[in-house]
Amino acid sequence: MKKETIEILRRRGVSGEDIKTADTLYKCIAYLDQKIFPGNHIHVVIHPRKGWRPCMRGIIADYRYTRGDDKKPAVYDIYAVGLTERVMHFSQRHTISINKNKKRRLKGDKVVEPTIIEICFMLAAHEVRHRVQRELMVRQFSAYYAKKFYKRWYSRKMTYNSVLAGSLYGLVLYFRYRKRELRGRKKSKKYIAKAMSRLEFDAAAVSCFLMNRWRMCSRLTHRETVRVMRMKPPKIV
């Protein structure tokens, strides 16, 4: 992040902790975007506020692209005010079980809290995957596919397919919980449909799997990172 941006955020009342978190997320998004789209990466904009609409107040970041006759360039947005608190809330809902690759509420064998860097990397992967969906037109993961893949490939062995199967099925259960939560909060059908869409499931699937691979390998190569970010659902043999 540029020094000028940091000064602007400070003058607008953004806390030092939120600036630090925004800088980490900024670097993660910029890194992934440059690796997936070399020579064609887009800007990351940090806003000194929360989401500009009431329904976006809980949003951490998003990928904003041109629609219709709108000639504005595509960008990634990060909303800095209260960012650390929102990231930590996201982290609590996405605690990973190393042995089962599922969420905390599934009571996995060994629960490990993700670090801020890991969560920022996961969030960055989610937004960059949205750009991959739109520009590379990859085939997407779905909840139906996830269940079939889990039944075929999940095992206790930490193989590539087993980790992917665990990541996908954990996400299926999380989306069920999330849908009930949104209904309980009286969200509109349109809002729930968008939050539960295949685009969102696919982006979440790739970002969860990428973070699980990152944890397994301690550090991923650039080639492996690009391969996961561009992946399409493997055939179920």
Q: Please report which confidence band the pLDDT of residue 159 belongs to, taking 50, 70 and 90 as the band edges.
A: confident
Q: Which residues contact 215 (CB under 8 A, 6 or more apart)?
A: 96, 98, 118
Mean pLDDT calculated for residue range 8-35: 93
Contact 141, 167 (CB under 8 A): no
Question: What residue segments make up the domains of the chain, in order of their start?
Answer: 3-229
pLDDT of residue 114: 75
Instruction: Single out the residue of 132, 38, 138, 11 nearest to residue 76, CA to CA.
Output: 132
Q: Please report which confidence band the pLDDT of residue 3 belongs to, taking 50, 70 and 90 as the band edges.
A: confident
Q: What is the pLDDT of residues 72-91, one digit of tens each?
A: 789 999 999 889 888 888 77
pLDDT of residue 197: 94
pLDDT of residue 101: 45
DSSP code of residue 103 = B
pLDDT of residue 165: 92
Residue 32 has pLDDT above 90, yes or no: yes
Q: Please report which confidence band the pLDDT of residue 96 belongs to, taking 50, 70 and 90 as the band edges.
A: very low
Dist. CA 21–CA 32, nearest whole Å = 17
State the sign of the Cα–Cα–Cα–Cα dihedral 210, 211, 212, 217: positive
pTM for the full model?
A: 0.86
pLDDT of residue 142: 94
